[in-house]
Amino acid sequence: MKALEMPLWSPGMMAVLAAQFFSALADNAILIVAIAIVRSQDYANLVPLLQESFVLPFILLAPFVGQVADGYPKGRVMLAANLLKLAAALIMAAGANPLTAYGLIGIGATIYSPAKYGILAQMFGAAALVRANGMIEGSTIVAILLGVILGGWLADHSMAWAFAGVIAAYGLATLANLFIPRLQAERIATGLRPWLLTRQFLVSLSLMFRNRDSRFSLLGTSVFWGSGTTLRLLLFAWVPAALLITDNRTPANLMGAVSIGIVLGAAAAGWWVSLRNVNRALLGGLLLGPLILALTFVHGLALAAILMIAIGTCGGLFVVPLNALLQERGHASIGSGKALAVQNFAENLAMLLFVGAYGWAVSAGAPVTMIIVAFGLVLLIVIAALAVFRWERA
């Protein structure tokens, strides 16, 4: 299906941006609130499990959500997903187990993600797709910035106000979804037949990994999000150890600093990187490992914030072009929704492995400095190997 070549600043794009902004703001605020709940109950060891309860649906539901995103109008799929997130926030506010409620939010996010990115490939052609992704990533990262800062601040002051803010944000996201253009479904819905869809998903997974560009994108974005998710959790252990600060706001604010950097990196990617010279994105990826290792020498809040912005900038420069590359290749082959479902599966499997390794290291009593060193070295080696393989086959 040919893209509609909409203007970047069309009302439809503004509705997508608004829906994504408020949904991402709520997703990140409620994570900080959930972390604050388990820490206040002296179950800090459950923090990695919170993140795993969120990413597990991305893996288990991957065969189905691509079919849903491609088989129905994507704006309506996004609406249904946000309604599920809103319901989950309400039951967490009512006292439900944070792991269960945050897992339901993960299900909503699993459904939402391929529709959110897939609709861009329907709205814009290849020439504008990197810029459209940059706008979405910029909106997302600003939302993450505000979400983690507001979530940390409100969780330290009033849980009631924290939940009120989260529920209001999900409500605004749902409202914005109503203004997204009702575009035609990319492919005819064939029904949710589990075994058939699982086989189709495995075929899609195989096709995406056989293609040189989509394989590069899948591996690169998976490493990025696996490491980024681990860094978010790691800050809650590193800040008390290195900066001697024990509140919820400081690690949340440092997460916000990473978000500022990703906005800068996304802007740089939109200006400096296109699908024709996408290998330039590797520069940002190669710098991530050394910057993580530099955390071991930081003991001041100002320097920590500067380093977090640098990490985010390199991350944005790395991941935004790879997202656009995958969407363009997926839209032209198996459908953007299925391609994004494959991407979500790969990325969240990486998150599960990274966070699982981090949780194992914490349970084994490894010092936070040792964890950071291992984390930075693994990241450096993996992205360097990806770069060498990519350049050799260029």
pLDDT at 238: 92
pLDDT at 294: 94
Distance CA 314, CA 271 (A): 14
Residue whose token pair is 């503004």 = 14
Nearest to 312 by CA among 253, 258, 233, 388: 258
pTM above 0.85, yes or no: no
**Cα separation values, 52 from 42, 324, 354, Å:** 19, 26, 10
> pLDDT tens digit string along 105-153?
999 998 898 788 778 878 877 667 767 877 887 788 788 878 888 888 9
Q: How many CA atoms lie within 13 A of 24 on its CB side?
A: 21
Distance CA 49, CA 60 (A): 16
pLDDT at 101: 94
> pLDDT tens digit string along 87-110?
999 999 998 999 999 999 999 998
Nearest to 10 by CA among 113, 96, 131: 131
φ, ψ of residue 43 in degrees (nearest 5): -120, 45
pLDDT at 19: 93
Task: Specify the CATH number for 11-392; select among 1.10.540.10, 1.20.1250.20, 3.40.50.880, 3.40.50.20.
Answer: 1.20.1250.20
Low-confidence ranges of the chain (pLDDT < 70): 1-5, 44, 126-127, 130, 186-192, 331-333, 335-337, 392-394
pLDDT at 291: 95
Q: In this structure, are residues 295 and 251 in contact, taking their beta carbons and an 8 Å threshold?
A: no
The domain locations on the chain are 11-392
